[in-house]
Structure 1
């Protein structure tokens, strides 16, 4: 069946009795198209357009041929059969329209990369700026979201916002120190100061800037890029001692000093350092004792609002809550404004725990290892570490020694 037959409808008809050949000739003479003519027992089977069937039936009487409809195909017959299911197809159209309308809004805001700030904290901030569930995607400018978050949270150094499907995904990075160039605009500031005071402002860059030791230790290696080395490999230095001087000497071929100049010293200095570890903590500690009582409160989430089921409200004096939430999505990042969840409240009471000697030593080891891991995170390579634990009546005292290798060059600003 061709495309025209699909839209206008077609019939599969069986012709029997009389003179089928005369019937076919009459149809051809009157311009009625018959296709797929084939022998079917003592008769013939063929296809005809639905609109030509009534004219063909008149011609069949002249040829004394009986026409029997075997199959009806095409859109007109489909619609006629579907009259009793009209509500079903209307529902499909309405559902399609709702899905399209839903795709124009944001129904899920996802945070990624945040550790210090919880999702709830960041969502409340976005809500104060007008970014909420159910807002139109056309009204969202991702660059403005990134700028607002960076300006409000000083320790969030990188933000990326993007719209994927009907989700707003915000990725952030925290606690990264960004270095800024200290020399930018110094000449402009100098000229402005001279114009205001009428006096010449001395050029501090001519005095030079030294590289000093951020920590005491024994120099293991040293690379000087600019400046004059003030110490050598194997020397023991103290905190604040000059490692590379910002004063350079200019001499003639005979080694006579012509003049001195100031530069910003720069270089890499690696030293062997020692950390003396000391820690003390009480053998008693606060802990939470869970009574085993809990209450579960269920809710339905619709278009950004929670609708709680009656009952299960948290009436405990002290408790913690666990919020479990699920949102309906059809595929990928296409989410619907429908979801459900539960809030489970667990009652607890404050209690006091006491470390045993074994538990105190385990806690001391845990704290010591955490201290070493913090050093490693600060680019301090721990070479050797040892500690001693003394468990008393009320406290646990820990002392230790850590030998490390680290960069100690600190450039003056």
Structure 2
């Protein structure tokens, strides 16, 4: 029965092994003397295994002598023995109690902030503004008003359109949405001109509204007036309109890159040096960091010692690994230099050309010398260069 098991656990019991040729008589004498044995298991003809209460165990002394048996305690179980062990480990118990109390207290604070949704804004900037908005590491959760934090952060950071704050365990999760770049739009009922955004040669101009000031084949300079929103007619009053047009022009881009024939390469030597430091809250404890290598890769790993899902406590081990790099000098050929130069020039020029532009012509010229190869890229594209500006 469950109640009997609980009672036996509370008063304590022992698991014993009894050996002797008079095992049956041993059991009978125990029953006669009101000594309760349970879970009796016969191992062989001269050996049994059983459980007995701690108070009844000492009553077996006379029965052991009468039956010429040998008794051995295999295990002591129950509350009295647990308490006895705990008394022997008093400082361990005290330390465990202090640890549990500390964990309970620390779990009511925020020890980690995770931010999601950032694209262009630096995370540290958001964390600093969160501190002024009423949320920072080490704050008690009860003192944090999520809605106030959201509103204050939006006020402090106008570059954000939405903020959401959630707290789970000792973590705060901040979700943000950044504002996109605001286009400088001019209302259709507002008068404006169209000017050239860059130098070029007009390939085709189609004026939908306003007076065209250039024609196909004309060479234009940056900021030159292409379509005027000021309409002047003989015997009519001057009026202003919202200029509309498609202005496609040929434009040119160029860039330069130099590739030395003597290239320095870094390879891992296989040697690794590790350092360890402990960070509690925001205080770091570390030994002298002497890096034995001149050139190296640095890899840092943080391990939270007390990490239970959403409950993370501010004690972490920081393992820093330094991988030694050995530099070697490699001489490359002119053809190899051209290949490298072409890849770099194409990557650089691609960043300059608008996505909707059409590439008409592209060439690269190389100028080798004793120590390096210089490459120049020239790209001709077709793009819309018209930009609207308000009439002042």
Bin the TM-score by the shorter chain. Answer: 0.5 to 0.7
Contact 1:386 1:402 survives alignment (8 Å): yes
Coordinate RMSD, CA, aligned = 5.0
1:109 counterpart residue number: 113
Question: Tell me, what secondary structure is at the counterpart of 1:279?
Answer: strand
Question: Residue 202 of structure 2: which of 189, 213, 218 is its match?
Answer: 218
**Change over 3 Å in CA distance of 1:145–1:317 after alignment to 2:** farther
Question: What is the correspondence of 1:7-406 to structure 2 with a 5 Å cutoff?
Answer: 101-112=105-116, 122=125, 125=128, 132-137=136-141, 138-139=143-144, 141-145=149-153, 147-148=155-156, 150=157, 160=163, 162-165=165-168, 166-169=170-173, 177-179=181-183, 209-215=192-198, 216-220=200-204, 222=206, 224=208, 227-231=210-214, 234-239=216-221, 240-248=223-231, 257-265=235-243, 267=244, 269-281=246-258, 283=260, 292=269, 294-308=272-286, 310=287, 313-314=290-291, 321-327=298-304, 328-331=306-309, 333-346=310-323, 355-376=332-353, 379-406=356-383
Q: Return the offset for 1:108.
A: 1.9
Task: Give the Cα separation in 1 of the matches to 2:301 and 2:206.
Answer: 56
**Change over 3 Å in CA distance of 1:103–1:221 after alignment to 2:** farther
Question: Tell me, what secondary structure is at the counterpart of 1:412?
Answer: strand
The gaps in structure 2 that reach 5 residues or longer are: 6-35, 40-76, 87-91
Question: Tell me, what secondary structure is at the counterpart of 2:345?
Answer: helix
The gaps in structure 1 that reach 5 residues or longer are: 2-8, 13-67, 72-79, 184-204, 251-255
Q: Give the TM-score taking structure 1 as reference length.
A: 0.55
**Change over 3 Å in CA distance of 1:262–1:355 after alignment to 2:** farther
Q: Return the offset for 1:291.
A: 8.4
Q: Give the TM-score taking structure 2 as reference length.
A: 0.57
Q: Return the offset for 1:212.
A: 0.6
Q: Return the offset for 1:342.
A: 0.9
**Change over 3 Å in CA distance of 1:213–1:259 after alignment to 2:** same
Task: Give the Cα separation in 2 of the matches to 1:320 and 1:111.
Answer: 27
- Number of aligned residues: 305
Contact 1:375 1:382 survives alignment (8 Å): no
Contact 1:157 1:176 survives alignment (8 Å): no
**Change over 3 Å in CA distance of 1:106–1:83 after alignment to 2:** farther
